[in-house]
Amino acid sequence: MDTKIDILLGMQWGDEGKGKVVDVLTPKYDVVARFQGGPNAGHSLEFNGKRHVLHIIPSGIFHESKTNIIGNGVVIDPVIFEEEIHDLEKLGLTPEKNLFISRRAHLILPTHKLLDAAYEAHKGKSKIGSTLKGIGPTYTDKTARTGLRICDIETLDFIDSFNAKIEEHKIILDSYNYDYQETLKSMVDSWLKSLNTLKKFRFIDAEYEIAEYLKRGKYVLAEGAQGTLLDLEFGAYPFVTSSNTIAAGAFSGLGLATRLTGRVYGIVKAYCTRVGSGPFPTELFDDMGEYLRKVGNEFGATTGRPRRCGWLDLVALKYAVMINGVTDIALTKADVLSDIQELKVCTNYKVNGILTDRIPADNNAKIEPVYTTLKGWKENISKCKTYEELPQTFKDYIKFIEDETKAQVSIISVGPDRDATIFRNDK
Ligand code: GDP
Ligand code: IMO
Ligand code: MG
């Protein structure tokens, strides 16, 4: 019998701590595979007092005996890939040995990045707040069936196809009056040069290889990027990213059969953050928001932008649990909440004045959060090693989340380091 594939993904607006939890779980798996997104992601993890940030490469890469795969659903910028590889090599790792790339993954071209900037500039105040990594334009070309893929690199007419795409994009950039004269040539040069690093890696038919792993009884973890509320279908469109960040994205992003789903780990920050524009019902504009940003060090791992901060939103979380079929919650960053006397948790919305526990599809709807207040804890929990050691009021906070979402909190992260992780043995 085939083993089942476990999926790990973000339950909010990204930056929930996915990178850290993947790194901690990797010893239990043989393979870690990223299924969507691209270098818009910034997945951080820490061990031996050092922080590492990954953008395209799966977060299992620091475990050298484990296989890491970049799936077909991912979009790859070879320049950023090369930078990441150099960072890993500086640490003494040899990623060519345990990192493989799907032949079907799409390439982010230099002009995709410029188009991202041109579109955002054109939108003015209604901009999405994109990471400007070229994500939207690359997925646009993918769905328009005009993109370039990893397998194209190996073809004889690759350079011709590349140049043709650049020329096509230049026409669009011209129509937006976007000035690329000074930047494009050097961007193209470094892009083409960086292919030499990319070509050192084994390009694979990842869907076949993953099916083989599962057939041979190996354990595979699918790593998501961004978060459920940034999903192209179920986020607050258009303030979303351009891929399916939800569990369903793992099947199309890796080529899996849905009957092979195992556990679904939903990574949940104990409060909420969001970068970029778009609705954020529990956002705090006061000192408490500032406090969470400071204590939680809430600045983007990819762009350095300050993250918007707010209270935990259970309406949104219940939606994410439902859409993803979450079996296990990994609760992160509750250590940031230590020393706050009263914690608010949003349990309902008033949408245009009407009480509801549903997220409206129309992002112009006026949402007012309805809060329940829970007692905080004074203790520093970052050194706790077992669930039993945690303060009762924190256990009550966890129980409240479990009762509302009907999902179990089976992992509790109490600090950025690998070691600051509690597995609940009663779960
Ligand atoms: P990701 O995109 O979901 O992987 O999350 P990011 O890496 O963008 O952001 C999460 C940030 O919180 C990183 O700086 C992590 O090092 C840090 N982090 C992860 N878990 C914890 C935790 O339990 N407590 C604290 N204080 N920091 C954490
Ligand atoms: P990780 O994987 C947080 C946000 C951007 C913007 C919107 C669209 O680290 O959790 P895009 O560049 O994708 O077109 O931007 O999505 N965004 C993220 N926010 N974490 C991320 O990834 C994000 N990736 C994209 O800020 O609002
Ligand atoms: Mg991140």
CA distances from 127 to 21, 124, 173, 366 (A): 31, 6, 17, 19
Cβ of 223 closer than 6 Å to ligand 1, yes or no, is no
Write down the residue that tokens 């219940």 correspond to: 318
For ligand 2, atom 6, the nearest C-alpha belongs to 130
pLDDT at res. 300: 85
- Share above pLDDT 90 across residues of the chain, in percent, rounded to a whole number: 97
Q: Output the pLDDT for position 426.
A: 67
The per-residue pLDDT for range 375-398, each reduced to its tens digit, is 999 999 999 999 999 999 999 999
pLDDT band at 301 (very low <50, low <70, confident <90, very high): confident
Using pLDDT thresholds of 50, 70 and 90, give the confidence band for residue 90: very high
Neighbours of ion ligand 3 (CB under 5 A): 15, 42, 301
Among the ranges given (17-21, 125-129, 139-143), the one the predictor scored with the smallest mean pLDDT: 125-129
Ligand 2 pocket, 238 CB below 6 A?
no
Question: At residue 219, what is the residue type?
Answer: Y
Backbone φ and ψ for 191, nearest 5 degrees, come out as: -65, -50
Span 223-233, pLDDT tens digits:
999 999 999 99
Nearest CA to ligand 2 atom 16: 241
Report residue 365 CA to chain centroid gap. Answer: 26
| 368 pLDDT higher than 70 | yes
The pLDDT, as a whole number, for residue 425 is 75
Mapped onto helix, strand or coil, the DSSP state of residue 264 is strand
Q: Measured from the CB, is residue 416 less than 6 Å from ligand 1?
A: yes
Mean pLDDT of the chain: 97
Tell how far the Cα of 331 is from the centroid of ligand 2, in angstroms: 20
The residues, any chain, with a CB within 8 Å of residue 132's CB and separated by 6 or more, are 113, 116, 117, 120, 303
Task: Return the residue whose CA atom lies nearest to atom 3 of ligand 2.
Answer: 14
The rounded distance, in Å, linking the Cα atoms of 5 and 207 is 13
Give me 124's structure tokens.
């003015």
Q: What is the C-alpha to C-alpha distance for residues 195 and 118, in angstroms, rounded to an integer?
A: 25
CB of 16 within 6 A of ligand 1: the answer is: yes
Q: Say what the pLDDT of residue 427 is.
A: 62
> Residue 96 CB: number of other CB atoms within 10 A?
13
User: At 157, is the pLDDT very low, low, confident or very high (cuts 50, 70, 90)?
Assistant: very high
Does ligand 2 come within 6 angstroms of the Cβ of 19? no
Q: Using the mean position of ligand 2's atoms as its centre, give its distance from the Cα of residue 7 in Å.
A: 19
Mean pLDDT, residues 320-344 taken together = 98
Long-range contact set of residues 386-389: C-beta below 8 Å, sequence gap at least 24: 386/422, 387/412, 387/422, 387/424, 387/425, 387/426
Q: If you ran DSSP here, which 8-state letter would residue 384 be given?
A: -
Kindly state the average pLDDT of the residues 247-252.
98
Compute the distance between CA of residue 46 and CA of residue 224 in angstroms, rounded to an integer: 19
Q: Give 207-211 contacts, CB < 8 A, sequence gap 24+.
A: 207/72, 207/102, 207/104, 207/254, 207/255, 207/256, 209/69, 209/100, 210/5, 210/31, 210/33, 210/69, 210/254, 210/255, 210/256, 211/2, 211/255, 211/256
Secondary structure tally for the chain: helices H, strands E = 11, 20
Q: Give mean pLDDT, residues 103-114.
A: 98
pLDDT of 1: 81
User: What confidence tens digit (pLDDT) does each residue in 279-297 have?
Assistant: 999 999 999 999 999 999 9
> Which residue has the least CA distance to atom 13 on ligand 1?
44
pLDDT exceeds 80 at position 182: yes
C-alpha to C-alpha distance for 31 and 99, rounded to whole angstroms? 10
What confidence tier does 206 reach under pLDDT thresholds 50, 70, 90? very high
pTM of the predicted model over 0.85: yes
Amino acid at 77: D
Q: What is the rounded CA–CA span in Å between residue 272 and residue 288?
A: 12
Catalytic residues: 15, 43
Q: Which pairs from 395-399 meet CB under 8 Å and 24+ separation? A: 397/270, 397/334, 397/337, 397/343, 397/345, 398/331
